[in-house]
Structure 1
Amino acid sequence: MEFNPEVSRIVKSMEVLQKLSPQLPLNMCHVFLCVAAKPGISTNELVEQTGLSQASISRNLTALGKIHRNGKPGFDVVQCVEDPNDRRRNVSFLAPKGKYLLEEIVAAHRGVPAEDVKVNTITAKQAHKQWERNRLEEITSQQAKRRKEKENKQMAAPQKPMKRFCPYCGENIHD
């Protein structure tokens, strides 16, 4: 009896994930794939998506990050950063190594070489640059709006007659 080809591809995808660690927990794989599916996902969204506790999500994100608990090296496939719009939130993105791992997983699932797969995802660095560009555009548009409002006020304000002075004697000239 032969293996089901679809299930076989899933098994190959899981084998790619096991390259990180032979004892990689399924919860950690789930968190990694959720971050891959939605770059910039918050910790609370991960709790809702996976059904895991906040503590479990934090533990898995730490392990998938650069430095694991007690200063041990992590897998360095996920990067958690502070949300620039709400400093109380952390958002997660794939690290460059995570993007490469995702391409390998997708390639194994499709049954094609990893070089033939390009995954369109955004890293934390790219997201930060995009946020800076958006913020700069927002500031520029706010400045332009204020400038326009100031010009409109000046145009609408009644003009006071200008005092003119004689260039020779300095006396006030009345029209």
Structure 2
Amino acid sequence: MTTEPQGTASHAVPQLKRRPMLVRLTTAIQQLRTVSREMPIQQLHVLLTVAAHPGIAPAKVGKLVGLEQSSVSRNVLSLSRTGSKATAGLGLIEARRSPEDHRATCLFLTDRGRLVVTTMLGTLEGRSAPQDAPAAPPAPVQPVSAPSVAPTKTRSPWAR
């Protein structure tokens, strides 16, 4: 009996028993790409952390995600409406002053951010997006650049 080395493709995902989940995960990633074609995994991790912990402090996000404060600030800026000098933000999260301490900042999803996360979770759970889902508020216009990957055919409810 011959055995294949552990690093071969047949051992990566045994008989693709999780194929339906992989298809749903791929679809969720395609949906996310309609929001941002090149969102780094760090930004997605910050977005999902804010979704899981509404009102979380940026310092706590850094601890949970394993990022330095400067990286958290940069990712929060990109995910907010503000963005950076070079690009507009995505409008998915917002920073608010803490009601308990006016010096502290709390992070929350925007309406658009809630729609994006809810739709992705629905896809992963095998549910389609509700037809009567409210349209996401438009994000600021971003500079157009040449796409690095061929466009997908999947349209999401928050696509521009």
Structure-to-structure mapping, 1:83-98, within 5 angstroms = 83-98=98-113
Secondary structure of the 2:102 match is coil
What do you get for the CA RMSD once the two structures are aligned?
A: 2.1
Structure-to-structure mapping, 1:64-75, within 5 angstroms = 64-70=79-85, 72-75=87-90
Question: How much has 1:116 moved relative to structure 2?
Answer: 7.5
CA distance in 2 between counterparts of 1:56 and 1:19 reads 24
Structure-to-structure mapping, 1:131-150, within 5 angstroms = none
Secondary structure of the 2:85 match is helix
Q: TM-score, normalised by structure 1?
A: 0.62
Aligned to 1:48: 63
| Greater RCO (CA < 8 Å, at least 6 residues apart) | 2
Give every structure 1 segment of 4 or more consecutive aligned residues whose post-TM-superposition deviation is greater than 2 Å: none
Between the aligned residues of both structures, percent identity stands at: 26
Aligned residues: 118
Match of 1:111 among 126, 132, 147: 126
Q: TM-score, normalised by structure 2?
A: 0.67
Greater Rg by CA: 1
Structure that is richer in helix per residue? 1
Aligned to 2:31: 16
